[in-house]
Amino acid sequence: MRVSHLKLSHFRNLGSLNLPIAEDAQVIALIGQNGSGKTSVLEALSLLTPTRGLLTAEGKAQIQTGAKEWGIWAQLNSGAEFGQVYRKSERLLTIDTHRQPLEAMARHGSVVWLTPNTDFLFSGPPANRRRWLDDLTTALIPAHAEAVSRFNLHRQSRLRLLQNGEGGDWLDAEERLAAEWGIQVLKYRTEYLTRLAPHLHGVTLSLSGNALEVLKDDNPIAALKGKFERSREIDARIGRTHAGPNTLDLAGQLILTDGPESLRTIPLSTASSGQHKRGLIHWLVGHVQLLAQTQNRPPLVLIDEFSAHLDTARRQLLIETLLNSGCQIWLTDTETPPTTLPGLHVVPMEHGGLAG
């Protein structure tokens, strides 16, 4: 995915923005002081996917103070035009002026990002890791976005029925549908990690949780539905679903090339901040190479606070690796990055929009 033109209206702290991108721009650097709207631009770009974006914010929280709605319009190098508006608690999408479900964006490309928040991905709550995994899985398998959405819809509907003391055929139907979509979620997640593995260097990733057991069953849908049925009482009491894809966790191991052999693998959950960043970047690079080689469709890459990631030499190597895979890169910083970056296009920002 490459963006050739971006327009924003009343989005976060940006009243309006009209940003055409030069054809030869490969690295778009948004430069300005804190509060100038740099991260808001990246957040808008991350919403060119069916996800909740890099800040995972509610749509209403992204409306500029005093406005009633926000708008995002983007033209891709492929010629496709995305138009989004958040209106009356709903995020509405058009592609080439035709109304489409949000999941349709996944068919046109994908976006991946590094932010200061991702520096704590493996030391934070499992939900953050599942969300990150689901976003990247959708890039490889667009149908995953619908599977996650449908599973959550029926899981939440089931939980409401349980908490209201309702049962019968309706509850049975919701559990069956949650199981059907839940199995798709499990299969797509495991397929992504299996296909990613050959492209990973310096890190390994693995899923854990008892929900994985159902995939070994001759009838995995029935096995997962059985888990839902057996957990009705406890789920109603605790107010959450404690069996299913929503309970899985993702573990990462960083592989070191030096030091004692017994210490050459480090769990990312206990790694230092620098080691954690290295593990994430290994994953990001492997993901980019997977998409570039299997789909010839490298993702759009967003890097917030560019100087905060790695040292100068490793940042340069990261950018070169991503560019060699065909990515367009958008980054933010308070100072202009080295002019040695190929295809560098600097966009000065000031509070509320473009500078100058």
**Interval 42-53 mean pLDDT:** 90
Domains of the chain by residue range: 122-129+137-270
pLDDT of residue 352: 66
pLDDT winner (highest mean) among 164-168, 170-174, 242-246: 170-174
Topology of domain 122-129+137-270 in CATH is: Glutathione S-transferase Yfyf (Class Pi); Chain A, domain 2 (1.20.1050)
pLDDT of residue 302: 94
Per-residue three-class SS string for 137-175 = HHHHCCHHHHHHHHHHHHHHHHHHHHHCCCCHHHHHHHH
pLDDT band of 179, cuts 50, 70, 90: very high
Of 86, 64, 83, 65, nearest to 74 (Cα)? 83
- 58 by Cβ neighbours in 10 Å (0-12 / 13-18 / 19+) ranks as exposed
- Bridge partners (DSSP) of residue 8 are 17, 72
pTM comes to 0.86
Confidence check: pLDDT of 355 > 80:
no
**Interval 80-101 mean pLDDT:** 93
Residues in the chain: 356
Confidence check: pLDDT of 93 > 70:
yes
